[in-house]
Structure 1
Amino acid sequence: MTLSVNIKRRLGDFALDVSFDAPDGVTVLFGRSGSGKTSVVNVVAGLLRPDEGRIALHDRVLFDAGAGVDVPVHKRRLGYVFQEARLFPHMSVRDNLLYGRKASGLKGQGDLRRVAQMLGIEGLLDRRPARLSGGEAQRVAIGRALLSEPEILLMDEPLAALDAPRKAEILPYLERLRAESGCPIIYVSHNLAEVARLATHLVVLEDGKVLKDGAVSDLLSDPSMVRVFGVRDAGSVLTAQVVDHADDGVTELKVSGGTLWLPTVPAEVGSHLRVRILAQEVLIAADRPVGLSALNVLPVTVLSMKRGDGPGVIVQLKAGDDTLLARVTRRSADALGLHEGGTCFAVLKSVAVAPADVGGGLQSG
């Protein structure tokens, strides 16, 4: 495990009591505002001292209340990216990037060129922050944190201050960061689209406690978590491989349960992607449909059915090695005779998957 956190801290009337292990990759701390996400990150960073507990990074203990260990912030070897870029306005982008090294006691320019290329800011090095867009400034802030050679990167809702176009601009760079940086990342978010694209591990916080944690694909397709994620945002994440780009403007993707056709995906043939499929966009058919405009039809098995207080039913479906969620009415579920262990077909319109719900940066093979 990369990071082990087991801490308690009282903040007025709010009690933080959190325990989780974060493996390599991107661990997202998810929850509503006030659930304790930023407090957890600040505890890991050393900006907030726990009342009790222990924090270990790799084999290095950062905090242990019982042993009297509390490593100072500047010796924890971490990079912190805030919601705002917090760049020095009087410095060039190059000098802002290198400040991270100086602040950490490092000499030279390190991997400046590699980091700048990875984040797409190599053409911005001589600019001042006032001449940067919000997305560019945030990429510079990430680069500054990376050049401090951290053992772990902490990111507190780094896209929260950006509008939708700027978020769409920076997400591919974050996916590349996940694949290429070699630095484990703790990422705070309450945006499920970001979670689906970036997370490898998910920790769901509620009222200062860990409600559930695990692989992102498992938690997003867990019917019991729909109340947390919301019925409109509930869905699942599939890993897909690009097979072909057809002349009529659709891309063929291979998933474990069959084939998906989506509007042209800007990715190379053979590359691996994540595809987020919302439960409300999945239809269920008792028999394989014919004479239907929807291109995507996957044979599935019903794993479970969760009936709420209202007219809706969340149906958990097995498609190959993947798990899908479908949101249907009780009337439809009864008319189709859906039951655990039964077989049916999941139907998805190609245009139902938004471009923002298709992410890359996954290792091939």
Structure 2
Amino acid sequence: MSLCVDIHKKLGGFSLDMQAEFPDAPTAVIGASGSGKSMLLRCIAGIVVPDRGHIALGEKTWYDSTARTCLPPQRRHAGYLFQQYALFENRTVAGNIMMGMRGTKQEKQQACRALMERFQLTALAEHRPAQLSGGQKQRTALARMLGAQPEVLLLDEPFSALDTHLRGEVRQQMAEVLARHVGVSLLVTHDFSEAMQLCSRAAVVSGGRIVEQGSCIDLWHNPKTRACAELTGMRNFFPLPDGMQPNDSAPCCLGIRPEDLRPACGGDTVTVSGTVQRMLPGIHTDQAIVQTSHGMLLWTVPHDADSPPQAGDPVMLSADPDRFHILKIDKT
């Protein structure tokens, strides 16, 4: 069943206006800091009440401002993984995991043992959160969330509190959790590569609105908005040349990825000229920072380039026509 969301929430000078239908598939909610993605999860979970709108999982209404329906969080059966895990410091690992479980004491203990074995926590059963590493806290929070047998998983930037060397390990476990869950899963992140590794679909959030939705692969190859393009790693944006403005009146710009740029050649219809300001060496490629009339441009230069540029060189760059992207500029 799908999760349907149509809500409005005013927070000071910020407005959240979200309309989306999330299917039975892992979906990344991706956006820059302050875009509203975490607030969306809090509204879905019932932690924050919208000003108006509707939230429903299948035929079950969770929130409806017109009907004055607002189920409390515990009746929504949504598992929420907080950025900082929100473990109970006065409880052991086993005690935290059993929080929210339903059933007899024996059934809870049996389910807890199974989850501790699944997440390699058995030896830590009597430890308290202060005695755990970041990865161990993450696994404990995951086990606690799954112990309540939620219908919907809400994961709020689950790797943000982890050191870089732990993220790969925990990411594998998260991929397994998402693959085994039957139902809606929403993963909040600002990292598009993380979204692609863990989710088949994504919703791009900018300025409190969902501006694009689709498969992660399609959004990577064919972004329609600057907000989405920036999240996928596109760094170069220019005013549209004459004749390229779409028929609708929405303001647009031209985007190009650093790795898609090359020296211009005869027949190129779109070119940009500038001067190399600095070369940044890399393992497989170098990065050229080029000053143009539209600002700084980033150009990825292969190590085997015929004539690698040097600081101070004038350059004229272009790309194959299908590498240029016409992008709507979001009104935030």
TM-score with structure 1 setting the length: 0.63
Distance 1:166 1:48, change over 3 A: same
Q: In the TM superposition, what is the alpha-carbon distance from 1:123 to its structure 2 partner?
A: 3.6
CA contact (8 A) 1:88 1:96 kept: yes
CA contact (8 A) 1:106 1:148 kept: no
Q: In the TM superposition, what is the alpha-carbon distance from 1:102 to its structure 2 partner?
A: 5.7
Q: Give the 5 Å matches for 1:89-108.
A: 89-101=89-101, 108=108
Q: In the TM superposition, what is the alpha-carbon distance from 1:161 to its structure 2 partner?
A: 1.4
What is the identity, as a one-letter code, of the residue corresponding to 2:45? A
Which deviations, in whole Å up to 9, do the C-alpha atoms of 1:29-70 show, x marking residues without a partner? 111111111111111011111222111112211011122221
CA contact (8 A) 1:5 1:21 kept: yes
Partner of 1:143: 143
CA contact (8 A) 1:118 1:177 kept: no
CA contact (8 A) 1:81 1:141 kept: yes
Distance 1:41 1:62, change over 3 A: same
The farther-off stretch of 191-200 and 77-86 is: 191-200
Distance 1:198 1:56, change over 3 A: same
Distance 1:233 1:104 in 2: 50
CA contact (8 A) 2:219 2:228 kept: no
Q: In the TM superposition, what is the alpha-carbon distance from 1:281 to its structure 2 partner?
A: 5.1
Distance 1:136 1:333 in 2: 49
Partner of 2:77: 77
Distance 2:123 2:197 in 1: 27
Distance 1:59 1:175 in 2: 28
Distance 1:95 1:12, change over 3 A: same
Q: In the TM superposition, what is the alpha-carbon distance from 1:141 to its structure 2 partner?
A: 0.5
Partner of 2:214: 214
Matched, 1:158 2:158: yes
What is the identity, as a one-letter code, of the residue corresponding to 2:121? I
CA contact (8 A) 2:84 2:161 kept: yes
Partner of 1:296: none
Q: In the TM superposition, what is the alpha-carbon distance from 1:226 to its structure 2 partner?
A: 5.2
Distance 1:132 1:72, change over 3 A: same
Gaps of 5+ in 1: 236-278, 286-307, 315-329, 342-365
CA contact (8 A) 1:74 1:104 kept: no
Distance 1:173 1:64, change over 3 A: same
The farther-off stretch of 134-143 and 115-124 is: 115-124
CA contact (8 A) 1:28 1:195 kept: yes
The farther-off stretch of 96-105 and 198-207 is: 96-105
Aligned length: 262
Distance 1:110 1:309 in 2: 63
Task: Name the Cα RMSD after superposition.
Answer: 3.5
CA contact (8 A) 1:110 1:147 kept: no
Matched, 1:9 2:13: no
Q: In the TM superposition, what is the alpha-carbon distance from 1:310 to its structure 2 partner?
A: 6.0
Distance 1:225 1:117, change over 3 A: farther
Gaps of 5+ in 2: 236-256, 264-292, 300-314, 324-332
SS of the aligned residue for 2:143 comes to: helix
Amino-acid identity (%): 31
Partner of 2:53: 53
What is the identity, as a one-letter code, of the residue corresponding to 1:222? N
Larger radius of gyration: 2
Distance 1:3 1:82, change over 3 A: same
